[in-house]
Amino acid sequence: MLDDILVEVSPKMYDNMGLSEDDVEPLKIQKFTEFLEREFPDNCQRNQPLGPFTSYRVGGPAAALMTPHTQEELERLVRLCRDKEIPWFVLGEGANILVHDHGYAGIAISLKQCCSRLFHQDGLLYAGAGVAVRDLVRYCEVHGLAGLDYMSGIPGTVGGALVMNAGAFVGEIGDRVVRIEALNESGQRVQLSREEARFGYRRADGLVGKLLLGCWIVVDPGDPAELSRAREAYLKRRAEKQPLEYPSCGSVFKRPPGDYAGRLIEAVGAKGLTVGGAKVSEKHANFIVNFNNASARDIYELICRVQEMVYRQFKVWLELEVRLIGFPPEDVQRVKGVQDGA
């Protein structure tokens, strides 16, 4: 049983085992992942490097990468993590995250298998949280479903798009969402309306702390040929404006009120600025690219430098759009900076 496995690394036994507090937590996670490997032999990859699973192509290993086959397995996994206070996060396609070079001392969860349903009926489209946005757009095109073609070229999964209220050019995904299926903070299945999701610019405050399973989206009848042309046009616009030839997370910073992050970054002369193998793109200043085998630390330090340069000149603190995974609290606080009164 899991309780029997973890009792041997209980803090009450520090002295008997000759362990310090710093030793106990890693040992607890190790024992937990060994348990997961036995319980989910086809779903568990221990000490799995996350770099290949992220759009930045950087980052160290997670204690385990889990790929549940069913939503029941997902629920059980999340319940185990919560009961034993083991940190976890949903990996998605790694399109909007920066993973620390030392990795993540917890469980990365992929929804590609357990939340992959995609179907439509009566003017509504259901998309699982693990469905890639590119597959969602293609499905709509093939089946003549209009309304989401502007999402062409947006990286990541439907779940990630919901959490960030992703969009481009003429709309955001939250504009068409009817309801969302999720696990709440207690691990119970819930359904949330668009209003309860509280969609805003690159945020959905009502979804914070929830594990998304899927959503229903309003779609309109469309001509597949016209949708194909629209998709190609959006992809062309992206290629003209964005440095797609290098690994990146897309836009690094959220748009500040009444302005654009890219304009501010360009105005302070940060285009082309480098730290190690990371560079502020000359093509789009709100992109930091991995142009020469960058480390996560290179990218992080360049983020901080850009924030500081913009703040010194404009007194605007750029808020991150990319999520930091596995970074210590002091690093997370540093990028929050003056927006939290620091």
Q: Is 148 left (phi over 0), alpha (psi -120 to 50) or beta?
A: alpha
Asked whether 80 and 34 are in contact (CB, 8 A), the reply is: no
Give the DSSP H or E segment for 136: helix 133-142
Catalytic pick from 75, 93, 181, 202? 202
Catalytic pick from 93, 141, 181, 321? 321
Catalytic pick from 248, 251, 281, 295? 251
Has 198 been annotated as catalytic? no
Q: Which residues pair with 104 in a beta bridge?
A: 62
Tally Cβ neighbours within 10 Å of residue 116.
17
Q: What single string gives the DSSP state of each residue in 56-109?
A: T----EEEEEE--SSHHHHHHHHHHHHHTT--EEE-TTSTTEEE-TT-EEEEEE
Distance, C-alpha 92 to centroid of its chain:
6
- Burial of residue 212, with CB atoms counted within 10 A of its CB: 0-12 exposed, 13-18 middle, 19 or more buried: buried
Q: Which residues contact 236 (CB under 8 A, 6 or more apart)?
A: none
Write the CA distances from 214 to 26, 80, 181, 221, integer angstroms: 33, 22, 5, 22
Q: What single string gives the DSSP state of each residue in 242-285?
A: S-TTS---S--BPPPTTS-HHHHHHHTT-TT-EETTEEE-SS-T
Asked whether 75 and 187 are in contact (CB, 8 A), the reply is: yes
3-class SS at 289? strand
Write the CA distances from 329 to 15, 108, 145, 324, integer angstroms: 28, 19, 44, 10
Has 202 been annotated as catalytic? yes
Active site residues: 202, 251, 321
